[in-house]
Chains A and B, each alone.
Chain A
Amino acid sequence: MIGEIGHFALALGCILALVQAILPLIGAHRADARLMALASPLAGAQLIAIASAFGALLWAFAVNDTTVSNVVLNSHSQKPLLYKFSGAWGNHEGSMVLWVLILALCGGAVAGFGRDLPSALQARVIGILGLIAVGFLGFIIFTSNPFERVWPPPMDGQGLNPILQDPGLAFHPPMLYLGYVGYAVTFAFAVAALLEGRVDAAWGRWVRPWSLAAWSFLTLGIALGSWWAYYELGWGGYWFWDPVENASLLPWLIGTALLHSAIVVEKRESLKIWTVLLAILAFGMSLLGTFLVRSGVLNSVHAFANDPARGVFILALLMAYVAGALALFAWRAPKLGGTGIFAPISREGGLVLNNLLLCSIAAVVLVGTLWPMFADIMFGAKISVGAPFFNAATAPLAIPLVAAMAVGPLLAWKRADLAGALQRLWWVGALAVASAFLTLLVAGYHVLPALGFAAAAWLIGGATADLLDRIAAFRRPSQAWNRARGLPRAAWGSAIAHAGMGVTFAGLAGMGLATDTLVALKPGEATQLAGYEWRLERIRDVQGPNWSARRATVTVLDGGRVVTVLEPEKRFFPVGRMNTTEAAIHTNALRDLYAVLGDERDGGGVLRLHHNPLAPWIWFGAVIMALGGGLSLSDRRIRVSAPSRKAAAATA
């Protein structure tokens, strides 16, 4: 019964979305206030319908309703409750319901928070979000019904892929989807602007919080996924340039560019066409990722079980939305006009450079990800593009990007004094060079880690210099405190986010100095790694709630003193008959000691041991970046909303 209600709610949501897509758009076109006023209530109703459907799905998983085939395939009565819930979105059908739920939340948020928006713009944005929802709800209802029944019901479910039974992964998809789907809103703003044929400062100010929110969630989502890969997959790596990882990085890169170019639109009424294009592309990249993961055209650890009919449907949606928006762009963009001239050495000049570099990196990643697939289909050539290509191709672009990241915020709008900015950064530059030399001195000849530490020092120092400069800490120290309190939160946010990037760079550089070893040890035997003595004590059996495991006990000693006891496991999940490795990690924030248990033989076991300097900083930096984004979002100027559009139009 609950399942049927959920299914019905999805269908209802689809019809509401269709109405939401048609009436407000007609209303905005005809300037009919009554039709436009329908937009917000429709978005609210749509949210209620989709939330009910999602609730019904959660319910089916929580009570382990084995008449629902999705539950049978992905859940089991013995599973902890958290993973019953995460199982609801850990599969293709359920994750699509989560996807449309977040889309409906975005629609509700535009309706709720957007009361100060010009009504035509709001109606158009909500209408376009409705249009997107129609497609994806249709996709769910026609190809991926999560409430499909099975009769007679099996005794119990088949369990969730054990690799996915993990707290990190339980929250990875929702975070990621909040990011992906958040870009649907900026996309809707872009399409609305094209329909209106107008982009102005108010538009830039409206787009910025949405792109900030989407960007912050996407940053967290990517970091969570990377962290999960690090501790759960047991390969000791954090980023593998896997096509699906790249698919999440692409909207992040484009979204970061969008975030910055929207500032130029807001402050200087410039870069309008470019910003609209970025907003379309950011969502296009999100949809591309959805297509790649769910259609079966690529081979990846992340891919869902696939069905080509679904692939054709998603491709049709992708083309309808992205190609449709790009066609509208080609037709209407000339009306937006107004790419003003500005000096290359200026804040906006710096932001243009940022955009060029970010988009170049995105282009490299996109080509590297798609090229093997296209080479296969066009020339029948089987090639693989791996980490060496991506590292070699993105590093030359990342270096100038990092260099500019610290300088840009110190430049003034319109016409800036580069020499003056560099002068204020002299101590930061010295710090960066010193970090590089120190790395070479301490760790030996490792060029990339040295560059990474230099980048970290440059970014963190640059953000500090920027803040010190803004509060005039040296010029008028007595008033610094008051100035710091008066500084807009957006300024704090951007400095913190830039510094967060620096922290991540430090982590990446530290991982560049990581060492590991593969040893076969018998109980009582020990090995040396990174100045520590690693001693295997014993290997024994342990029982978990829905798994059994072999657990090794490894004592790590530093000069005879016990640092920690690591207990890596190999878990066996009887339901689903699958093994997972549970790496044991000990961190003190400056380095991770990481142990993985391999095969056992002759009473001993194969152990893979890693020493990963500064590894946690990679994800810690991402959290700082997202915090910066959040702080920026809470800026008064954003909360209190933009000045009404009429006023902006009147002065133009």
Chain B
Amino acid sequence: MSDNAPPKRPRRWMLYAPLGLAAAAGAGFYAMLQGLQDGSYDPRGVPSVLLGKPAPEFSLPALESVALPALAAEDLRGPLPGPVLVNFWASWCAPCIIEHPQLMRLSREGVAVYGINYKDRIPEAGAFLQRHGNPYRRLGRDEPGRTAIDWGVYGVPETYLLDRQGMIRWRWAGPITADTLENELRPLLRRYA
């Protein structure tokens, strides 16, 4: 009927281990679901720790091959005349090419777009702006990438929106496509205008 007694009895506690693990995972998942509801847990990846805070301290040199003023944290301190976009980019970054027409459009519409050129070479960065147009009012050169670390940049392109008080309100990791511009950015620009 039943099997013979096993030669070595399995240790009983080991049979409870899967249950313990499952219970711990269940508790964790429950905490996540609670966090989703009260906003403390957000899987949509990229809530910047800077949201609702002013830009971190930095001062970047200008790009020598382009006749644009340099960029420092002082330029982002409120009160500002309108909302400001800070865009991290590089000439070696393919998605930056996709994003560029949208930045050009915003710039033509009078939105202040500030650029931070990330880990780039001077001639290439200049050639990029010559070829695709310059949307930036100010441009800082972050060759060592320190400023990008302080901002918590994932990679280029990445864009931040600051309101008139100089508070960071929005962060977008990845290119601003035409879709992002219409559905995400424009409502925010209207809101913080």
Mark A residues whose CB is within 8 Å of B.
Answer: 197-198, 269, 273, 277, 280-281, 284, 291, 295-299, 308, 311-312, 315, 318-319, 322-323, 326-327, 329-330, 333-341, 370, 373-374, 376-378, 382, 384, 518, 579, 598-599, 601, 606, 649, 652
Contact = CB atoms under 8 A, between A and B. Distances in A.
A326 B19 contact: yes
A322 B44 CA distance: 28
B45 interface: yes
Contacts of A269: 3
A273 B32 contact: no
Given A315-B26, A337-B5, 8 more contacts: A299-B43, A311-B33, A315-B30, A315-B33, A323-B19, A323-B26, A336-B3, A370-B25
B127 interface: no
Interface string B16-30: 101100110110111
B25 A295 contact: no
A277 B94 CA distance: 49
B6 A323 contact: no
7 contacts: A273-B10, A277-B18, A326-B22, A338-B4, A339-B6, A370-B25, A374-B28
Given A295-B33, A598-B98, A281 B43 contact: no
Interface residues of B, number: 39
B149 interface: no
A377 B19 contact: no
Given A315-B30, A373-B32, A649 B15 contact: no
A10 to B, nearest CB: 25
A318 B33 CA distance: 14
Contacts of B80: none
A103 B10 CA distance: 34
Contacts of B123: none
Contacts of B44: 299
A382 B46 CA distance: 8
Interface string B61-104: 00000000000000000000000000000000010011001000
A273 B5 CA distance: 14
Contact of B43 (A298, A319, A335, A339): A298
B12 A377 contact: no
Nearest to B154: A384
Given A281-B18, A319-B22, A322-B22, A297 B3 contact: no
A277 B10 CA distance: 14
A337 B28 contact: no
Contacts of B2: 197-198, 335, 337
A323 B33 contact: no
Nearest to A650: B1
Interface string B156-173: 000000000000000000
B45 A299 contact: yes
Contacts of B36: 296-297, 308, 311
B15 A652 contact: no
Contacts of A333: 10, 15
A297 B45 CA distance: 11
B187 to A, nearest CB: 16
A135 to B, nearest CB: 15
B7 A341 contact: yes
Contacts of A376: 41, 43
Q: List the 9 closest A-B pairs by CB distance, nearest first.
A: A338-B3, A326-B19, A299-B43, A330-B15, A330-B16, A297-B32, A311-B33, A319-B26, A337-B3
A652 B4 CA distance: 9
B130 interface: no
Contacts of A598: 98
Nearest to A376: B41
Interface string B34-62: 01110001011111000000000000000
B31 interface: yes
Contact of B6 (A297, A311, A337, A373): A337
Interface string B172-192: 000000010000000000000
B43 A377 contact: no
A606 B46 CA distance: 29
Contacts of A382: 45-47
A323 B20 CA distance: 9
Contact of A323 (B4, B23, B32, B94): B23
B170 to A, nearest CB: 17
B108 interface: no
Nearest to B132: A601
B31 to A, nearest CB: 5
Nearest to A300: B43
A158 to B, nearest CB: 15
| Residue among B4, B12, B33, B37 having the largest count of chain A Cβ atoms under 10 Å | B33
Contacts of A318: 26, 29
Nearest to A319: B26
B35 A377 contact: yes
B55 to A, nearest CB: 20
A83 to B, nearest CB: 22
A595 B18 CA distance: 47
B29 A330 contact: no
Nearest to A366: B25
A296 B37 CA distance: 11
Contacts of B101: 599, 601
Contacts of A327: 19
Contacts of A197: 2
A297 B29 contact: yes
Nearest to A608: B94
Nearest to B46: A382
A606 B44 CA distance: 30
A281 B25 CA distance: 14
A198 B1 CA distance: 9
Contacts of B18: 277, 280-281, 326, 329-330
Contact of B9 (A281, A334, A336): A334
B97 A377 contact: no
Contacts of A315: 26, 29-30, 33
Given A273-B10, A298-B43, A518 B4 contact: no
A174 B10 CA distance: 40
Contacts of A295: 29, 33
A281 B17 CA distance: 13
Contact of A297 (B12, B26, B43, B179): B43
